[in-house]
A = this chain, B = another copy of it.
């Protein structure tokens, strides 16, 4: 039975995009509920300056609390060396760095060229390698706007792969590809991940796909076909689109888990418990829209988890 990892990014990527801050105590409960549903990797916080993102001011506390939960990998986003140091101080065992493949997006977002951003990421990797053994987090790099950019339009595919190769060679543990703006299509997603896996082998990371144009799960099918086994998603699709009702950003975890389990791919996730965890979104983000086709329509009456199909 094929195992597929669903990496929950709601508590970081989701909450980061919502103005309203989820109370820290609710974050703790939500993350615990996600773990109890079977999520094995949860991105719980971002180590950014609290002035910029007050919703993430409790990052050290959220990481420390999540580390008490057995059986999950606690992941934190770090934007730079300072954030990386903070994440290490909080005890994060795995961090994500993002580097944009679009020059226009990189300049607009962090005022660095792609080359400068690569050097910045390499410095973080080098710093990590100088830490005492046992304090060196796994570093996953996400190549953002790998499938196109809403500022510059096309992004050169060979350049995105070349960035991944450079960063893996510099010591990043895994490098994945992100469709940050929902521009990707299945043909492109399959082609790009095939190249990534051919170039990086075991260092090829997961797929961070958005559903902005409704293509998220279609792109997952293509990525599965290319050999991808880790997918980011956000419970309730939170942190999605600021401008259009129904047009979400992240893939909805519930819909992704339904896709994978129905296909006989084992995520280890229990759907009723996953649906139950949504209550903490209502509790911690009152009035915020929460998405999901499977939560709305319900699971089919013949739904069986992959483990039960194979039993």
Residues of A whose CB lies within 8 Å of any CB of B are: 148, 150, 153-154, 181-183, 185-188, 211-215, 217-218, 220-222, 225, 241, 244-247, 252, 255, 258-259, 262-264, 291-294, 296-297, 299-302
Taking a contact as CB atoms closer than 8 A, the residue among B211, B221, B264, B300 that contacts A150 in the complex is: B300
Q: How far is the CA of A28 from the CA of B225 in the complex (A)?
A: 43
A interface, over-half SS: loop
Q: Which residues of B contact A214 (CB under 8 A)?
A: 217, 252, 255, 258, 292-294
Leading 7 A-B pairs by shortest Cβ distance: A214-B293, A185-B262, A153-B302, A244-B296, A217-B218, A247-B296, A187-B263
For A183, A241, A291, A300, which residue has the most chain B Cβ atoms within 10 angstroms? Answer: A300
B148 touches A302 (CB 8 A): yes
**Chain B residues with Cβ under 8 A from A182's Cβ?**
297, 300
CB of A150, distance to nearest CB on chain B (Å): 7
Check A293/B246 contact, CB under 8 A, given A186-B263, A302-B153.
Answer: yes
In whole angstroms, what is the CA distance A158 to B194 when docked? 34
Residues of B near A150 (CB, < 8 A) are 300-301
Whether A259 touches B218, Cβ cut-off 8 Å, given contacts A293-B246, A300-B150, is: yes
Q: What residues of chain B lie closer than 8 Å to A218, measured between beta carbons?
A: 217-218, 220-221, 259
The residues of B that contact A244 with a CB separation of less than 8 Å are: 296-297
Let me know if B213 and A246 touch, CB within 8 A. Answer: no
Cα separation A247 to B263 with both chains bound (whole Å): 21
A142 to chain B: closest CB distance in Å?
20
Closest to A249 in B: B297
Q: Which residues of B contact A183 (CB under 8 A)?
A: 300, 302
C-alpha gap A218/B187 in the complex (Å) = 12
How far, in Å, is A68 (CB) from chain B's closest CB? 34
Q: Which residue of B lies closest to A248 (CB)?
A: B293
